[in-house]
Amino acid sequence: MAATVTVEPAGRCLWDEPVRIAVRGLAPGQPVTLRASLRDEKGALFRAHARYRADATGQLDLERAPALGGSFAGLEPMGLLWALEPEKPLLRLVKRDVQTPFAVQLEVLDGHEPEAGRLLGRAVHERAFLGPGVRREPVRAGRVRATLFLPPEPGPFPGIVDVFGAGGGLLEYRASLLAGKGFAVMALAYYNYDDLPKSMESLHLEYFEEAVNCLLSHPQVKGPGVGLLGISKGGDLCLSMASFLKGITATIIINGSVANVGGALHYKGETLPPVRMTTTGRVNSMPVRPLNAYRRMVRRGPRSSVTQGRGTT
């Protein structure tokens, strides 16, 4: 018996858009295994699977049918996508080119893994990162290396600086999706990219200040301030930016430290030393300038409040 795998919306949709996956043409109560797989731009394979049982009419709707096991269990309509795991351990699923979609292959097999049998049906679903009409503009302004994403509608738009963490480079997939929600988003590189520093051992806040001013000067960006979005190391950099720079009206950090970590941060001749963990697990700061200089720097900030959004004074 041939089965039909359907995905709604059909064809292509955005990566953060929910979809409805269903299978038709099964026998009543038939046990089946659904598999999802995709390859990233480097050819790495990511897979997920789950076991299901068709209803009395021979249909399977993932919005109503709980998974009986596999990569996940229970009612998880999007489980085949969020549960994708690398075939090779420790790899991370990262979209390196937002101008092309991920092609997700969905398969339904007879029976339950590991004894799943013949292939009953297949469908390919594209997950895109650049919405219709979203504009992508590479940025090389002064020292700033970034990519600006603008919504398709007429502006100006609220601005966001998007900062990623350890590993460096220029990652655009979050900025490109946010632009589709009505924001002008600058995906900002700060090390391990182009002619930027190769490591984050010594960073200068003036670079991030230049990026904020660059974004605010764009005619499609609505002032008087911009928001910050940072993950991991990018999170503590955003907190430093909100504390010492003008023009910041909101800050969101994801899994970031509340202190400077990983390397020294310099600003206007002063140095904010990194906080490190000692062998006993205690937090220890490693000053690279006299402590009184560090105290003077702290006394001058914060100029903005992350919780109250004061960053334009």
- What string of pLDDT tens digits covers the 313 residues of the chain? 589 999 999 989 999 999 999 999 999 999 999 999 999 999 999 999 999 999 999 999 999 999 999 999 999 999 999 999 999 999 999 999 999 999 999 999 999 977 768 999 999 999 999 999 999 999 999 999 999 999 999 989 999 999 999 999 999 999 999 999 999 999 999 999 999 999 999 999 999 999 999 999 999 999 999 999 999 999 999 999 999 999 999 999 999 999 999 999 999 999 999 997 665 655 555 444 443 444 444 444 444 433 333 333 3
CA distance 66 to 23: 14
Closest CA to 101 of 151, 38, 36, 184: 38
112 and 147: one domain?
no
Whether residue 142 is found in the same domain as residue 224: yes
Do 159 and 268 lie in a common domain? Answer: yes
Do 120 and 225 sit in the same domain of this protein? no
State whether 155 and 290 are in the same domain: yes
Residues 6+ apart with CB under 8 A from 182: 151, 153, 157, 158
Q: Could you tell me if residue 21 is inside a domain?
A: yes
Together in a domain, 123 and 139: no
Q: What is the pLDDT of residue 286?
A: 47
Which of these three, 128, 162, 179, is where a domain ends?
128
Report yes or no on 309 lying in a domain. Answer: no
Residue 107 lies in a domain: yes
Kindly state whether residues 160 and 296 are assigned to the same domain: yes
In a domain, residue 57? The reply is yes
Q: Are residues 123 and 166 in the same domain?
A: no
Domain containing residue 255: CATH number: 3.40.50.1820
pLDDT in the model for residue 295? 42
Residues 171, 292, single domain; the answer is: yes
pTM as predicted:
0.85
Of 102, 128, 154, the residue that ends a domain is: 128
Domain membership of residue 307 (yes or no) is no
308 is a domain residue: no
Domains in the chain, number: 2
The domain spanning residue 24 has which CATH number?
2.60.40.2240
> Do 124 and 140 fall into the same domain?
no
Domain annotation covers residue 12:
yes
In a domain, 313, yes or no: no
Does 273 lie in the same domain as 174?
A: yes
pLDDT at 57: 97
- The domain containing residue 259 runs over which residues? 135-300
> What's the pLDDT at 308?
35
Last residue of a domain, one of 78, 101, 128: 128
Clarify whether residues 92 and 226 are in a common domain: no
